[in-house]
Amino acid sequence: MYHHHRKHFWGLFSVPRVEWKSISDENLDITQFGILRMVILAAVPAVSFLIGINQVGWSLAGNEFNKIALSDALPMAVAFYVLIIVFTSMMAYFTFAMERAFGEEASFGRCLLFTTYTATPMYMAGLIGFVPIVWLAMLVLLLAVCYSLYLLYLGIPIYMNIDEGKGYVVSTSIISAGLCMLVVFNVLTVIIWSTIVI
């Protein structure tokens, strides 16, 4: 399982079209693997953020860093982690609803796996949390979101085994829901942040 995970991780960044086909054809316990993958990858931004704001300190522009005590940073990181899990699960459920409407083979496990693979660039962008400079973090996140959108558009017709036309409709619907959820996620993150910092 670890070998497949590592292979797909690099494949999605190097040959995404081929990798989506490989992921789609695999016979894994996809629900268990999807949950495991989500739980592990969601920890990347949360742990990076925890270490960054506690050891390095956060900064708006990179000039002055403000460290946050572990007693404050830890609950923020836990809340951040829970948010990531909840929003990934919500996106997986919405993808599942779309696959039921348009695809030939619908299962929540498949959609959870698809969502976690699609979100991999955003999870890994969380490594910027080790150096929590606000403008840099926003730039890295924007680039990660763009690549995740590319993976989604490319992967939907291959993974759901539907034609390009239906794939476009499904992708656009999922992206619209995802962008709305991203706005809500950002608002909740700011609320969590402000309760501790301000």
Tens digits of residue pLDDT in 64-115: 888 999 998 999 999 999 999 999 999 999 999 888 887 666 788 888 988 9
| C-alpha closest to that of 128 among 36, 184, 46, 8 | 46
And the tokens for 94? 């919405």
State whether residue 51 is helix, strand or coil. helix
What are the residue ranges in the chain where pLDDT is below 70? 1-9, 26-30, 103-105, 196-198
Mean pLDDT of the chain: 85
Block residue for tokens 């919500």 = 90
**Rounded Cα gap, residues 99 and 110, in angstroms:** 10
